Structure formats: structure tokens, C-alpha cells
Structure 1
């Protein structure tokens, strides 16, 4: 059983691995030169993930206007807007969709002793979960990719930056070059 939430066990709500991969990919793309791009394969290689799985999320990010896709043999992905204008919520919604994490199925109306009539008040549990979701989304909306990069740089002894720079020096493709 999960020690932090022993009553919930393994049924805790989690965001998909795609959210983590998408955030890291957007952060990596934020470090490209103005004319630079990276392919899905290169992003997958850097993060040690499957290209096919990451590609699905990169396409969702493109569809949400977070990434720009450039076709051709020197094509790839880059940010469609600045890192300061991309929030964690933007990325989560692009990958996971806009639906709330908690979905009330009105189980009050099921079982051997259901409510006799359709409830006139909203489910208090659903209302509490939606308030929590609103607070969670507000925090994600507050944090940008630029904020994340600034925090990483503040705590970096130089090794994180060196790793990324070395990879980009080899793999960044420059449009028009």
C-alpha cells in the first residue's frame, strides 16, 4: 500500500507520463537558438523515452499552439511562443485534455439504497474536488516554462546546463542554414 495515502493504495490519481515528457521537451526546446529545431527522435533520445509515445504528445502541443512544426529533412519542433508565455497548465491541458481529474458519476443514485429522487443539490464531494482542481489549475497557470528554467539555473552547479548545451551543439538543426 502507498504509505502517503494508505487508504487509497494504488488508486491515486496521476498525470500521465506524457505530461512529464511534454514539460521536459518544451523546456529543452526553450533553449534552442532562434532558428533552431529538434526532431521528435532527438528529443526522445535526450530524455530516454520512446519516440512514438513522445510524438503523440508533441503533436498535441503543436495542436495547442505551444510548439511550431517545421517540415522537411531539416525540420523539427520549436516553441510557437516564448517560454514566458507557456504555462504548465497550457501543457497539461494539451496532453491530458480539459476535463477535470475527478469525474462525479453520481453513485449516490446507485446501489441497494439509492437516493429516491434526483438530487437537487450538487454532490458535496464533487464540489470539494472541483474546488481543489481549481486551486491546482491556478497554480499550474501561475508557473511558466521560463520560471522553471530560471529555478533550474539558480540551483545548477553548471552540470545541467553543460549536459543540455552539449546535446544541442550536436543535434540542433538550424532553419535556413
Structure 2
């Protein structure tokens, strides 16, 4: 029975470490996907002159989860009559738990909503372009950070479980 408890403790701590490593590895991917989605949004606004609810519908169809859910909620909020900036801000607040992004990532992503629907296409293009540049820098930093941190948490989970077993024995 003691052996099973030891194995369970090691496995549980190891799984926790692997889950944390997964979340760390996922952050650069989500930043890249956001940057690509913003490029699509920029194209729809500037070149397609697409109204925002339709643009968000297109983004919903062309992105993967969790960004798909993010743009679906945006589309729904706009169709209910909310302003674009309010809808963006509220969606960032309600959907951020589904992502592996840090608060500083959300601050940059939140900047997109400040200009949506309030200014002409050129100004919206400039705002989205600025956020895209910031996201690219953040993605590069996140990639360098995640490669080190993910390995550490993977090993630390199992080693923490082993340490726990040694302390309990």
C-alpha cells in the first residue's frame, strides 16, 4: 500500500509539472495565433471594408480554439449592440482564463479594442499594426523563456514528487 501511495505522489506531482510545462509552451503559440488573427482582421478592415461583426465572423471561421471562441463572443456582443471597444474589453476579461497568456500579453491585446470602430480604417490599421509588432516581440521573448522554463517544470514536477516521497518515508 505504501508503494502505491509513493507512486501516486510521484505521478501526481509529475503530471502537475507536465501540465505547467504545457501551459508555458502554449503561450508563444497563442501569441503567434493572435498576431495572425490580427493580420486577418486588418485585411478585412482595410482592404475588404468589412463591417466588424462580419469581420469577427470571418475570424471565427479561420482561427482555432481558443481564439475561435474569443471572436465568436466578440461577434455576438457586437450583434447585441455593444460598441466595438467595450465588446473587445469585456471579451478580454471574460475569455482570458481560457488562454495561457500573461497579464502583460492581455494589456497589449487589449490595446486593439481602443481604436476599433472609433476611427477610420487608416487609424485602425495603424493601431493593429502597432499591436502586431509588439506581439511579435513578446512571442520571441516567450519562445526563449518557454524553452528553458518548460523543461524545468517538467523535471521539477517529478523531482518534487520524489522529494515528497523521501520526506514522508
In terms of fraction of residues, the more helix-rich structure is 2
TM norm structure 1? 0.30
Which of 1 and 2 has higher RCO (CA within 8 Å, sep 6+)? Answer: 2
TM norm structure 2? 0.31
